Amino acid sequence: MMALSEADAANELMRLAKAIAHHNRLYHADDAPEISDAEYDALVRRNAELEAAFPHLVRADSPSAVVGHEVSASPLSKVAHEVRMMSLDNAFSDEEVTEFVARIRRFLALPEDAPVALTAEDKIDGLSCSLRYEQGRLLRAATRGDGLVGEDVTPNVAYISDIPQELAGDTPDIFEIRGEVYMAKADFLALNAAQAEKGDKLVATPRNAAAGSLRQKDARVTAARPLRFLAHGWGAASQVLEKTQFAMMQRIATWGVPVSPLLAICNDHATALQRYRMILEARGDLPYEIDGVVYKVDRLDWQERLGFVAKAPRWGLAHKFPAERAETVVESIDIQVGRTGKLTPVGRLRPVLVGGVTVTNVTLHNRDEIGRLGLRIGDRIVLQRAGDVIPQVVDNLTRDEPRGAYAFPDHCPECGSEAVAEEGEVDVRCTGGLICPAQRTERLKHFVSRGALDIEGLGEKTIAEFFALGWLESPADIFRLHHRRAEIVGREGWKDKSVDNLLAAIEAKRAPDAARLLFGLGIRHVGVVTARDLMKRFAALPALRAAAEAARAGEQEAAAELTSIEGVGPAVIEALGDFFHEPQNVAVWDDLLSEVTPPPYVVETRDSPVAGKTVVFTGKLETMSRDEAKAQAEALGARAAGSVSAKTDLVVAGPGAGSKLKQAAALGIEVIDESAWAEIVKAAG
């Protein structure tokens, strides 16, 4: 990682974002993954490593902020989760598990030798499902979806014998049990045998079989499939009856809902690692597929304090099993052009089974990676599915055979423009800019994607169709499609109702969220999180533009204001300045804002006396870590800053506070101690 340049990191993050989004869609929405879980996890892991090393390069479409998949194309009804269904961060080594426990101690301000009890259980490779019980009776079942909105599968789970329609014993008034719907290995083999006998397509994995069986509009299809369920946690609850994860899971089992027979309490991480190795050894003998072991902090009060990061709890971790490998042949190499003009080589492979999944494609990243591997068409390679999802080439077994090297194209395959690598960059990019159809369409796809404006019905196929017709040249053209209603109606696949639905979805975005709009513009280095942070500070897009232009012109105050935003560094400031300095971009910006009117960006927070204020913590905090204190401030609508300035509203000072306390006194800023801060947090509820 130390040898990687900033330019290389930015290029790789771009490639990873696109690849992960592609495989997320195939896995979650289509139930048809191209790669193994290990390979997918390797991509996510690499993305996390790069974002940690280069936080200012985190993209608007960063996979680290995405859970599951959108459900807009599903034939099933949508269900909003009362409590978001999160995913888990992954670990692949004992050292990462040790660091996970160390992070918990640091966040909770515990001594280094303080015991941290964990639960450990096998991680089933199934489909996440939430079961909402009210007064002990099953009211609704929903898939995870994107974590916020899932699919209603209530009629379907009625045919899963492991899921009771009514819980046994006394239960809280409201309790959502969460777990995995899965298909046992033996049932999966029997299903594929029946498919083969009928001449139907075989199902790739037990996970796909479970997902495809559960997500049926006709529940009778689900009824014909032998699905099972194991609980691993809970969501919304009017009351949690126990004080630990383990005890609560045991309580759920008494209600008649199965939990993993391998669930155990481990008093320290060394015992948890022993449990991991035991489960790994037993993996092949289990009746269902698993791909790792999940650890959770046992104490529920600690879980509450630890809280969540972007898409995962701080108190949970999935320790994944090692990758599997296989050999195959590179039959061809295709070049794909992305929205920034990057030429990405993709190896088309002789199909090979790796970890239960048939792999036919592998990304080769860039020209240098092909050179490093000495890769040519016809070479025999070793594939690895890291983390059991995304494939990668780990070796070229025939690199010494006397054949010519692969000639990477020097012109764009889409528009014929020259393709070059800028100084200091590893990626080759098309120089055609907006004359390149691949870049223009990819930018439009990005603009309407889930993290951006999320316009339902305006998918890749429709964008490509309308672009080819000359109807979509820029984002603003989307909001002028209503002028073409008569032309759209009657085209293949378009009828009055479908056109009206599309135009209504577009009109619904006339007052878009400002952060989503900013992200949708695809400004380099401005990812989802950065876009939100920028809008939290500036509230309105014109104010952001003014600050970016002023910073580029050398105004130090504007640059300082931008730099003071967490996660905004020189690369982001430069990218913003460059964007607004380019006349073509300004024309797109002005044209778009003539069609849409984003309201002032408002951060939803709890009502508190510090909402909208800037808080600085200094000195030693005795009841919490600095990270926990900052998380509390942000939850109350405040901004946690690292230094005292004239813009600081409140200083929370602990023992040993030094220069920051003196600065606060000199500036007349209110200073309180840690106990007074705790009262503010408590009062906010």
Rg (CA), the chain: 26
> How far is it, in rounded angstroms, from Cα 266 to Cα 263?
10
Place of tokens 């927070």: 605
Q: Are 597 and 511 in contact (CB under 8 A)?
A: yes
Q: Are 323 and 387 in contact (CB under 8 A)?
A: yes
* Partners of residue 110 on adjacent β-strands: none
> How far is it, in rounded angstroms, from Cα 186 to Cα 440?
48
> How far is it, in rounded angstroms, from Cα 472 to Cα 70?
24
Residue 25 CA: distances (Å) to CA of 68, 72, 98, 205, 420: 8, 12, 33, 16, 31
Cβ partners under 8 Å of residue 436, min gap 6: 337, 341, 412, 414, 415, 417, 430
For 617, other C-beta atoms within 10 Å of its C-beta total: 23
Q: Are 186 and 287 in contact (CB under 8 A)?
A: yes
Sign for the pseudo-dihedral over CA of 345, 348, 349, 353: positive
* DSSP of 209-255: HHHHHHS-SSHHHHHTS--EEEEEEEEEES----SBHHHHHHHHHHT
- Both tokens of residue 380? 């025999």
> How far is it, in rounded angstroms, from Cα 115 to Cα 589?
55
Residue 496 CA: distances (Å) to CA of 10, 491, 500, 502, 606: 44, 10, 6, 10, 44
The burial of 369, by beta-carbon neighbours within 10 Å (0-12 exposed, 13-18 middle, 19 or more buried), is given as middle
Q: Report which of 424, 409, 412, 408 is spatially closest to residue 340, judged by C-alpha positions.
A: 412
Assess whether 243 carries a catalytic annotation.
no
Place of tokens 């008569």: 486
Fill in the amino acid letter for 216: Q
pTM, rounded to two decimals:
0.54
> How far is it, in rounded angstroms, from Cα 217 to Cα 455?
24
Q: Report which of 105, 102, 175, 97 is spatially closest to residue 135, judged by C-alpha positions.
A: 175
SS3 content of the chain, % helix, strand, coil (to 5): 40, 20, 40
Q: Are 229 and 160 in contact (CB under 8 A)?
A: yes
What b/e readout covers 96-131, taking b as 16+ CB neighbours within 10 angstroms?
ebeebbeebbebbbbeeeeebbbbbbbbbbbbbbbb
Q: Are 295 and 319 in contact (CB under 8 A)?
A: yes
Q: 18, 123, 342, 536: which is the annotated catalytic residue? A: 123
Half-sphere exposure (Cβ direction) of 462: Cα atoms closer than 13 Å: 17
Fill in the amino acid letter for 123: K
- Name all domains of the chain by residue range, CATH numbers in brackets: 78-320 (3.30.470.30), 514-593 (1.10.150.20), 614-684 (3.40.50.10190)
For 380, other C-beta atoms within 10 Å of its C-beta total: 15
**H or E element in which residue 86 lies:** none
> How far is it, in rounded angstroms, from Cα 214 to Cα 182?
9
Fill in the amino acid letter for 366: N
Strand order in the sheet with 290-297: 90-91, 316-320, 290-297, 118-124, 264-266
Sign for the pseudo-dihedral over CA of 367, 370, 376, 382: negative
Place of tokens 């889930």: 450
Q: 563 φ, ψ to 5°?
A: -65, -30
- Both tokens of residue 518? 């900013």
Residues 555, 561, 567: CA angle, nearest 5 degrees? 125
DSSP state of 140: E
Residues 598, 63, 465: CA angle, nearest 5 degrees? 65
> What is the reported pLDDT for 72?
42
Mode of pairing for the β-strands spanning 390-396 and 419-420: unpaired
> How far is it, in rounded angstroms, from Cα 149 to Cα 146?
6
Cβ partners under 8 Å of residue 399, min gap 6: 373, 374, 375, 379
Residues 589-594: contacts with CB under 8 Å, at least 24 apart: 589/521, 589/545, 591/474, 591/476, 592/474, 592/475, 592/476, 592/517, 593/541, 594/476
DSSP state of 308: B
pLDDT < 70 regions, the chain? 1-3, 7, 24-39, 60, 64-75, 355-357, 385-390, 422-423, 432-435, 566, 603-606, 685
* DSSP of 441-503: HHHHHHHTSTTTT--TT--HHHHHHHHHTT--SSHHHHTTGGGGHHHHTTSTT--HHHHHHHH
> How far is it, in rounded angstroms, from Cα 17 to Cα 26?
14
> How far is it, in rounded angstroms, from Cα 168 to Cα 474?
58
